[in-house]
Structure 1
Amino acid sequence: MSNLIIRLKTQEDRRLRAGHLWIYSNEIDTARTPIKSITAGSLCRFEDGRGKPIGAGYINPQALLCGRLLTGQYDAVFDAEWLSRRLQAAASLRDKLYSQPFYRLVFGEADGLPGLVVDRYGDVLVVQIGTAGMEHLKPRLIEALQSTFSPRGIVLRNDSASREAENLPLYVEEVGDVPETVVIDESGVKFEIAMRGGQKTGWFFDQRDNRDRMARYIKPDSAVLDVFSYVGGWALRGLGHGAASATCVDSSTPALAAAERNAALNGKKIETIKGDALEVMKQLAVDGRRYDVVVVDPPALIKRKRDHEEGLGLYGRLNRAALNLLTPGGVLVSCSCSHHLAADELQRVLLRESRAAAKRLQILETLEQGPDHPVHPAIPETRYLKGYVASSINEQFS
């Protein structure tokens, strides 16, 4: 373990003592422990303002959120064996939850590995490293992944723009034998997932349980509209639940082509429409198209706090357009993965837009990320996915 010691200011340890893992640059006593010359990602030990041990982790003086606590054990040694124990604990949880090895294996802070995301596709692992500290640990991490899971291949999808906040380069790297695609099974529906060119880590495991719950809203004659469909997750799961038809809307030609391939993989047919989601929904309404289930599951529309108002307006316009496409009594599934949009804000968006659309809305269920994306109880930011299932009834408000 590194002998580097980082001293916090007086009283700045309280959040960490309560279970949090993050340390900001203005919480460090730089008079006692200057950090500017420290190499980004260095392993270190943290002490409170009185010099008492807090734990160990890593530091990046170039970032505002500069420190992450990996453990409360002051003298921990972060070798491959230590990482393997954390990985084994994460895998043990998922194996209790899922019968097949298709899930998010590591979800950062919630699994005691800040800065790390790992998705498991059977014998292929897709890894995202988001911090300089975890980048520093990469050789030991690869060793731990290999010794723990014996994967056929590992893809390091370190091409996320979020790495720029840590001044990290963007790259994609492969270890072992990585196929172009893998096929996963989600509740009996098969999906072919690209290992290199897909969005983020390839598949959105966080919505799997919510796609399962959609079954109760599907009838044999149901028509499903999947907006921001990517490779057709909601649409094909709707067909798997017994829907009569499904339409995918996305701005990406490759994503829609993948959705069509996934439909064929399951012996199904889907309609695909390429274009801007809002404009497509408006045109569908003009054309008189109506759907029994409309899913609006966009990427994060509020990536920064300063984008809040603009993003909130876009959520509103999207949901109003979706409401206008529902059959009487139809069901809207409205989701947001924006950290900076609270669940109650999304509920207020639905209320406002339903009234604007002259509809009475009934919220039937609330949605959140699946249990392979656990929430750290001291870090509310780890609860990011929120959504509502709502039923719409035409009604003219006075």
Structure 2
Amino acid sequence: MSLLRRGVERWQGGHPWIYRADLNGDPGLPGGEVVRVTDTRGWFLGKAFYSKHSKISLRWLSFDDVAVDADFFRERLLAADRLRQLALPGEKTYRLVHGEADGLPGLVVDRYGDFLSVQFLVPAMEQRKALIADLLQAQFNPRGIINRSDVGVRNLEGLTPEKGVLRGEHPGPVAFDEGLVKMRADLLEGQKTGAFLDQRENHVMAAHYAHGEALDCFSYVGGFALQLATRARHVTAIEISEAASAQLRENAAANKLNNLDVVVANAFDFLRDAVDEGKRFDTIVLDPPSFAKNKDAIPAAVRGYKEINLRALQLLRPGGILITASCTYHVDEQAFEDMLASAAADARRRVQIIERRGAGRDHPVLLNLRETRYLKCFVLRVL
């Protein structure tokens, strides 16, 4: 499969994706193949997965003319696990495979102790689902492998979202530790692959800064709220979902955290009303869902982020801490910081940046693929 000049430059520049417009003609393949990539002169450039329906036609596998077989995938899986053992020694819950960042495009594998939760996101990985499951079973001997490929991105690849037990048994909710807190994840019904593992290190960090009266918005099942409750005098957790609120209360009870109240409410409304009522807090966490799924939604996303951060800054006492996050890739770190600066100016508050953070060490960022650097997390202090 040959590339036009722009595609060649993109490939040689290190970006692992080639778009349909950069192909030298339609290859006429059904999709899911491993293809040899060349320039228009036929010079070999590497190997890639091919997708027929996606705008991303090619996903890099190798610069070398290697066999992409069971041994190839086995070694990539082992290499991914070696990184986690180095970065997080002794940890039993982590992202084992982070797609392109681990040289395995379209594959996500999360480990929750004796169970693995997996997403197959492109046709090439979907067609190799049984092979990947066999390799995971042989290498890590899990009690069960759960297929959580129930994500909308599969529709863009011509695939149907699906979920179920791929190997072994279904565990029901599984328990795992985050710092001093015990969490539970439903691998079949919970969000993402069961939990938000990309925020785990930030959850634990939040306990370090927590003090006084704390507020956690968009709480889900309490990743941040429970950590705040280990240090703060009192925590108010805001969550719009009744089901998630019920799980949050159960998690608080299981951790014997009696200083946490859950309010079922829209976080935007709660923040606005709290400002109007003159409430004050010492620690606030904002961890909303993504506000922009595409570039067209960026202006509305920035307005949404500014509104909640402006309200939070208005609610903080002097010396208060704001931990604010965004998982919206289309709003990059500089745009997010610019939004925070604008919110601080409008709130008439002087604000220090204490930390700039991202996803945990089990979510490596691939140089030249900014899409893998999607999570931003700032720790701010109001003067």
Q: Is the shorter-chain TM-score for this pair beyond 0.5, marking a shared fold?
A: yes
State the SS of the aligned residue for 1:100.
coil
- Residues of 2 paired with 1:178 and 1:259: CA distance? 22
Give the conservation status (yes or no) of the 8 Å contact 2:164–2:188: no
TM (norm. structure 1) is: 0.92
- Describe the shift of the 1:392–1:10 C-alpha distance in structure 2 as closer, same or farther (beyond 3 A): closer
State the SS of the aligned residue for 2:320.
strand
State the SS of the aligned residue for 2:7.
coil
- Residues of 2 paired with 1:363 and 1:261: CA distance? 34
Residue 16 of structure 1 aligns with which residue?
11
Give the conservation status (yes or no) of the 8 Å contact 1:56–1:76: no
Q: Deviations along 1:164-198, whole A, 9 cap, x unmatched?
A: 11121011021211211100011131001111111
Which AA in structure 1 matches 2:266?
A: D
Residue 362 of structure 2 aligns with which residue?
372
Which AA in structure 2 matches 1:107?
A: H
What are the equivalent positions in structure 2 for 1:310-325 lying under 5 Å apart? 310-325=300-315
Equivalent of 1:190 in 182, 187, 203: 182
Give the conservation status (yes or no) of the 8 Å contact 1:159–1:171: yes
- Residues of 1 paired with 2:337 and 2:72: CA distance? 43
Whether 2:248 is the aligned partner of 1:259: answer: yes
Residue 107 of structure 1 aligns with which residue?
98
Equivalent of 2:336 in 319, 343, 346: 346
Give the conservation status (yes or no) of the 8 Å contact 1:104–1:120: yes
State the SS of the aligned residue for 1:315.
helix
Which AA in structure 1 matches 2:191?
A: Q
Alpha-carbon offset, residue 216 of structure 1: 3.5
- Residues of 2 paired with 1:190 and 1:287: CA distance? 34
Q: Where in structure 2 are there 5+ consecutive unaligned residues?
A: none
Alpha-carbon offset, residue 286 of structure 1: 3.3
- Residues of 1 paired with 2:149 and 2:221: CA distance? 21
Equivalent of 2:234 in 240, 245, 248: 245
Alpha-carbon offset, residue 334 of structure 1: 1.2
Give the conservation status (yes or no) of the 8 Å contact 1:9–1:27: yes
Give the conservation status (yes or no) of the 8 Å contact 1:95–1:101: no
Residue 120 of structure 2 aligns with which residue?
129
Q: Deviations along 1:296-339, whole A, 9 cap, x unmatched?
A: 11111111000011111111111112112212221111111111
State the SS of the aligned residue for 2:272.
helix
State the SS of the aligned residue for 2:350.
strand
TM (norm. structure 2) is: 0.95
Residue 23 of structure 2 aligns with which residue?
28
What are the equivalent positions in structure 2 for 1:277-292 lying under 5 Å apart? 277-292=267-282
Alpha-carbon offset, residue 75 of structure 1: 3.3
Whether 2:69 is the aligned partner of 1:74: answer: no
State the SS of the aligned residue for 1:280.
helix
Give the conservation status (yes or no) of the 8 Å contact 1:11–1:49: no
State the SS of the aligned residue for 2:319.
strand
Give the conservation status (yes or no) of the 8 Å contact 1:11–1:48: no
- Residues of 1 paired with 2:104 and 2:68: CA distance? 14
State the SS of the aligned residue for 1:281.
helix
State the SS of the aligned residue for 1:82.
helix
Alpha-carbon offset, residue 289 of structure 1: 2.9
- Residues of 2 paired with 1:322 and 1:164: CA distance? 37
Give the conservation status (yes or no) of the 8 Å contact 2:350–2:382: yes
How many residue pairs get aligned? The number is 380
- Identity in percent: 37
Q: Deviations along 1:26-85, whole A, 9 cap, x unmatched?
A: 11111xxx32x3112122221122212222221112211111111222232322x32121
Give the conservation status (yes or no) of the 8 Å contact 1:116–1:134: yes
- Residues of 1 paired with 2:180 and 2:266: CA distance? 31
Greater than 4 Å deviation, 4+ residue runs: none
- Residues of 1 paired with 2:63 and 2:128: CA distance? 18
Equivalent of 2:352 in 362, 373, 377: 362
Equivalent of 1:173 in 156, 164, 170: 164
* Bigger mean CA deviation after superposition, 64-73 or 293-302: 64-73
State the SS of the aligned residue for 2:224.
helix
Which AA in structure 2 matches 1:41?
A: G
What are the equivalent positions in structure 2 for 1:145-164 lying under 5 Å apart? 145-164=136-155
- Residues of 1 paired with 2:152 and 2:69: CA distance? 27
- Residues of 2 paired with 1:119 and 1:367: CA distance? 21
State the SS of the aligned residue for 1:40.
coil
Q: Deviations along 1:211-254, whole A, 9 cap, x unmatched?
A: 233244234xx2221111111011111223x2222121111111
- Residues of 2 paired with 1:324 and 1:43: CA distance? 54
Give the conservation status (yes or no) of the 8 Å contact 1:101–1:120: yes
State the SS of the aligned residue for 1:39.
coil
Which AA in structure 2 matches 1:250?
A: E
Q: Deviations along 1:364-395, whole A, 9 cap, x unmatched?
A: 111111111101112111111112111123xx
Alpha-carbon offset, residue 273 of structure 1: 1.1
State the SS of the aligned residue for 1:255.
helix
Give the conservation status (yes or no) of the 8 Å contact 2:178–2:203: no
RMSD (Å), alpha carbons: 1.5
Alpha-carbon offset, residue 11 of structure 1: 5.4
